[in-house]
Amino acid sequence: MITAERKPLEELIEFVRPFKRILLVGCNECVTVCSAGGRKEVGLLASGLKMALLQSGNTIEIREHTLERQCDPEYIDELLPMIDGVDAVMSMACGCGVQEVARRYKNMPVFPAVNTKFMGASERPGVWAERCQGCGNCLLGVTGGICPIARCSKRLMNGPCGGSVTGKCEISQDVDCAWQLIWDRLKELGLEDQYLKIIPAKDWRTAGGGGPRKIIREDLTA
Amino acid sequence: MKTESKLEKVFASGNLAVTSECGPPRGSLPNHVREKGKYLEGVVDAINVTDNQTAMVRMSSLAASVLLKQEGLNPLLQMVTRDRNRLAMQADIIGAYALGIDTMLCLSGDHTQFGDHPMAANVHDIDSIQLIQMVKAMRDEGKFQGGADIKGPPKMFIGAAANPFADPFELRVLRLAKKIAAGADFIQTQCIFNVDKFEKWMEQVRAHGLHKKCYIMAGVTPMKSVGAGRYMKNKVPGMDVPQELVDRMGAVPKEKQPEEGIAICVETIERLKKIEGVAGFHIMAIDWEEKVKEIVDRAGLLPRPQV
């Protein structure tokens, strides 16, 4: 999923301070799963903002709504009746959702309520960790199912640097050495020889080096 | 011979090669480089010039290498993949060669987190092994990575690093094998304090026949004090300093510790000389260049061969 974390309340207060009436929009997808911008967080943030502004003598009306999916135009249209009469929109979706709202409602200021972090997985309750950087040319088939691009601090594609110690990365005891994980798994699978193959320099065009990326599926385009 | 590199010639002559290093200054004063270089004149076959080591901004490796070259010294250009993409690296490689630098070391570099610019982007367009491949293709095929011909290919003697002490241990020799397959002509190892463990690593190196495919220089570092020993033991990831060496440093009074550190370093070299497959020594006397001559001399490695 795409993970996100809510921005500090102080930053959000400054966004909305000039306005009398805003629409706060959550998303029922990834940000709900990582407890950053779903229905529940929309309710909490709305009360938080109102209370904080009230303390400084300001009042604000906040309309709350959570879309099924904020990165999809067909759901964003749903906001039309609610957006009428508000001064600004605050989105609790990832950056994709924020931009889709901004694209659809051209005259409306749109502010992000979360910082979009990474594509990751839940390691245990309350902990999410990066797993994929969307390089556009997946290496997982030759690296034992563990991504060195997303999970090695130096993005090394051909083995561990000299700072790998007892399975941990040199930058922190909290970071596993991706290459230790890869090696352990290759061994388990009896694929040690796989390691000896040099992974050549990567073509980063598929990772964004070729400019903003787009997928066009001719079979689906109308 | 693949190149005109003096280091390659020393290896080819069958002599044990000796290199040391010079960390460029954090500023633009050229004399700093010249003074450090002076200590190494006639003492080593090549001088590694580090590239923003420990992820701190310093005078560029290329500029400092040229300053050494102007003094008649023989620089060994270090290049890390952390700070530049492949365009910038290839540009510097041909630029360096145009300025008379024919030997280089390909590294990934310390993570920015360890330096004073932790906010900087880590580039890592390519990794150290891919850098080796790139330099080799520039030299042997006369091609840029993009496929175009190079007018005047840089005939670089290609070095790489190896750390026998990091984990996973069983991967350490395989990673070396990969570097050699990529095109490394010589290797400089991480500082060796734990000679027993290094011997085990070299056993595997020989079992794979890797010592016949490239020149392996054993890295050594003199400890300045018991504090420095403890720091390397406890704080530097991938360093292996046995407790007995720290104790030995601690057993002598503070003012005698530098001398003890030098003695340990010389003894280490003597032990390493006996290991089959060791082709030379890389002496990393960090900010202690003035002691390199004494170490090389006491280790019986002077005078340096004229090649």
Distance of residue A184 Cα from the nearest chain B Cα, in angstroms: 9
Distances (CA, A) of A157 to A150, A178, B124, B232, B279: 11, 10, 10, 27, 29
Bridge-based pairing of strands A110-112 and A114-124 is unpaired
Mean of the per-residue pLDDT values of chain A? 97
Does the residue B180 lie in any domain? yes
Does the residue B304 lie in any domain? no
Summarize pLDDT for B180-199 with one digit per residue, the tens: 999 999 999 999 999 999 99
Q: Which of B175, B208, B210, B235 to mutate to test the interface with A (most CBs of A within 10 A)?
A: B175
**Distance of alpha carbon B99 from the chain centroid:** 21
The helix/strand/coil state of B137 is: helix
Cβ within 8 Å, pair B127-A156: yes
Residue A200 DSSP class:
P
| CA dist., res. A92 & res. A85, Å (int) | 20
| CA dist., res. B307 & res. B297, Å (int) | 19
Q: Classify A2-117 by CATH class.
A: alpha beta
Contacts of B165 in chain A (CB under 8 A): 162
Percent pLDDT > 90 in chain A is 99
The answer, yes or no, to whether residue A78 has pLDDT greater than 90, is yes
Structural domain count of chain B: 1
Torsion, Cα B203 B205 B207 B213, to 10 degrees, reads: -140
Q: What is the pLDDT of residue A130?
A: 98
The answer, yes or no, to whether residue B95 has pLDDT greater than 90, is yes
Q: Give Cβ neighbours of residue B195 (< 8 Å, ≥ 6 apart).
A: B268, B271, B272
**Which chain B residue has its CA at the smallest distance from A179's CA?**
B168
Does the residue B305 lie in any domain? no
| CA dist., res. A200 & res. A179, Å (int) | 17
Does the residue B307 lie in any domain? no
A193 pLDDT tier (thresholds 50, 70, 90): very high
Structural domain boundaries, residue B235? 6-298
Distance of residue A169 Cα from the nearest chain B Cα, in angstroms: 9
Give the closest residue to B62 by CA, choosing from B95, B19, B25, B17.
B95
Mean of the per-residue pLDDT values of chain B? 97
Does the residue B182 lie in any domain? yes
Contacts of A196 in chain B (CB under 8 A): 174, 177-178, 181
The answer, yes or no, to whether residue A96 has pLDDT greater than 90, is yes
The helix/strand/coil state of A91 is: strand
Summarize pLDDT for B231-248 with one digit per residue, the tens: 999 998 889 999 999 999
Summarize pLDDT for A27-69 with one digit per residue, the tens: 999 999 999 999 999 999 999 999 999 998 999 999 999 999 9
Q: What is the pLDDT of residue B287?
A: 86
| CA dist., res. B144 & res. B87, Å (int) | 9
Provide the residue ranges of all domains of chain A, joining segments of one domain with +: 2-117, 133-207
Does the residue B306 lie in any domain? no
Structure tokens at A28: 């029922």
What average pLDDT does range A8-28 have in this prediction?
97
Cβ within 8 Å, pair B130-A158: yes
Structure tokens at A67: 């879309």
What average pLDDT does range B104-132 have in this prediction?
97
Summarize pLDDT for B124-170 with one digit per residue, the tens: 999 999 999 999 999 999 999 999 999 999 999 999 999 999 999 99
CATH assignment of the domain containing B118: 3.20.20.220
The answer, yes or no, to whether residue A147 has pLDDT greater than 90, is yes
Percent pLDDT > 70 in chain B is 100
Handedness of CA B185, B188, B189, B195 (dihedral sign): positive
The answer, yes or no, to whether residue B285 has pLDDT greater than 90, is yes
Does the residue B193 lie in any domain? yes
Give the residue numbers in B contacting A (CB under 8 Å), as ranges.
82, 86, 108-109, 111, 113-114, 122, 124-130, 133-134, 145, 161-163, 165-168, 170-171, 174-175, 177-178, 181-182, 190, 237-238
The helix/strand/coil state of B223 is: coil
Q: What is the pLDDT of residue B237?
A: 85
CB-CB contact of A3 with A65 (8 Å): no
A222 pLDDT tier (thresholds 50, 70, 90): confident
**Which chain A residue has its CA at the smallest distance from B115's CA?**
A171
ipTM: 0.94
Q: What is the pLDDT of residue A123?
A: 95
Distance of residue B180 Cα from the nearest chain A Cα, in angstroms: 11
